[in-house]
Amino acid sequence: MSVLAISILSPGIMGAAVGGALRTHGYDVLTCLAGRGAATKTRAQRFGFRDVATLDEMVAESDLVLSILPPESARAAARAVANAMIAAKRTPPFADMNAISPETTRTVAAEIARAGASFIDGGIIGSPPGSTDMPPRFYVSGTDAKLFDEFDGKGIAVRRCGDEIGRASAIKMVYAGVTKGVNTLHTAALVAAEALGVGTELRAEFAYSQPAPYKSMQNAISRLPADSGRWIAEMEEIAQTFAAVGVTPQFHYGAKWVFELLNRTPYATETRETMDRTRTLEQSIATYAQHVKTKQAAE
C-alpha cells in the first residue's frame, strides 16, 4: 500500500512536529480543526497542515490516520473516526500513537475494527522531530505495522516490535513509568524537604554526592508543570499497565499526585513554548510546597 495522504489527530506539540517532518518528505498532511483552539490552529498552519472541514472528509482523503492526543482523549477520538469511516465508506488504517495501556489500546482497536479498518498499535518515545538531534522513536506493533517502514528516517525512527496489539503500548508505558516516575520522585522528595525546613541542606548534599542526578533535577523539575495536566491521565494508564501483570500500581498513583500538585500551581498555565526557562529549581520547589500547604488548609 502506498501512503500519500496522512491525517493527524491532532496538531499538538508532538503531532504538529510529526506532521511537519512528514510534510517535508512529500506527504500530504491533513487534519480537521473544527472546534480546536486558536493555538492549535496556529500551530497547524505553521507546520503546513491542510485543514478539512469534517472528520468524514478527512477520512475520505486519507491513506493513514495517526492519533496523537492526550491519553484521556484516545477512546473518544477512535470512536469518532470509526463513525466517520462508516459514514464516508472509506477505511484507511488507523494508528493509535497515544500514551495508553495495552488494555486501553485493545478497546481503541475494537472501535476501529467496528468500522472495518486495520489497526496499528503505537507508542512514541522521545522529543518532537527537529527539537533535538535524536529523532523520536515510533514503536509499532500489529500485523499492519510494516506500513510504518517507509517513514523510518523521515524525522522519526521506526521500531517494529511484533504482530501483537499491545506490545508497542507496553513499551511506552514501562519506559515512561521510569522517566516520569523518577522526575516525580525527585519532585516529591524536594517538596517534602522544603516542607520540613531542610530543603537547602538536602539540595547541597545532592549537589555534593549525587551531582549527575542533581543536574537532572535542575534541568527537569521546573519544566514539569507545563505538561502536568496531560500527564495525570498517563500516570493512570501506567498504573493500569503495571496492575494488569501483578506489579504494584502505587508508584504511579503517587506520580499522579505529584502532577496534580504541579497542575495547581501558577506555572501550569505555561506551555513548553512559553515557560520561563530562567526559573530556578529553588523557586519552583518553594512554589510547589506552598500549594501543598494551601490544599491542606482548604481541607
- The answer on pLDDT for 294 being more than 60 is no
247 three-class SS = coil
- For residue 233 the three cell numbers come to 491521565
Spatial neighbors of 289 by CB under 8 A, at least 6 apart, are 191, 194, 195, 199
Task: State the distance between the two ends of the chain, measured CA to CA, in whole angstroms.
Answer: 58
**12-63 per-position pLDDT tens digit:** 999 999 999 999 999 999 999 988 888 889 999 999 999 999 999 999 999 9
pLDDT in tens, 222-272: 999 999 999 999 999 999 999 999 999 999 999 999 999 999 999 999 988
Q: What is the fold of 170-298?
A: N-(1-d-carboxylethyl)-l-norvaline Dehydrogenase; domain 2 (1.10.1040)
Query: Looking at the predicted structure, is the pLDDT value of residue 1 above 70?
Result: no
CA-to-CA separations, 175 to 86, 101, 155, 172, 259, in angstroms, rounded: 35, 12, 21, 5, 18
Tell me the mean pLDDT in the region 213-219: 97
Collapsed DSSP state (helix, strand, coil) of residue 71: helix
Please report, for the chain, the start and end positions of each structural domain, with discontinuous segments joined by +: 5-165, 170-298
DSSP SS3 for 197:
coil
Strand order in the sheet with 119-125: 50-52, 28-32, 5-9, 64-67, 94-96, 119-125, 137-141, 157-160
Query: What's the rounded mean pLDDT across residues 90-107?
Result: 98
pLDDT at residue 293 above 90?
Answer: no
Q: Is 4 exposed, middle or buried (0-12, 13-18, 19+ CB in 10 A)?
A: exposed
pTM of the model: 0.93
Average per-residue pLDDT in the chain?
95
Residue 284, preceding bond cis, omega within 30 degrees? no
Question: What kind of fold does domain 5-165 have according to CATH?
Answer: Rossmann fold (3.40.50)
Q: pLDDT (tens digit, 9 = 90+) per residue, 124-160?
A: 999 999 989 999 999 999 999 999 999 999 999 999 9
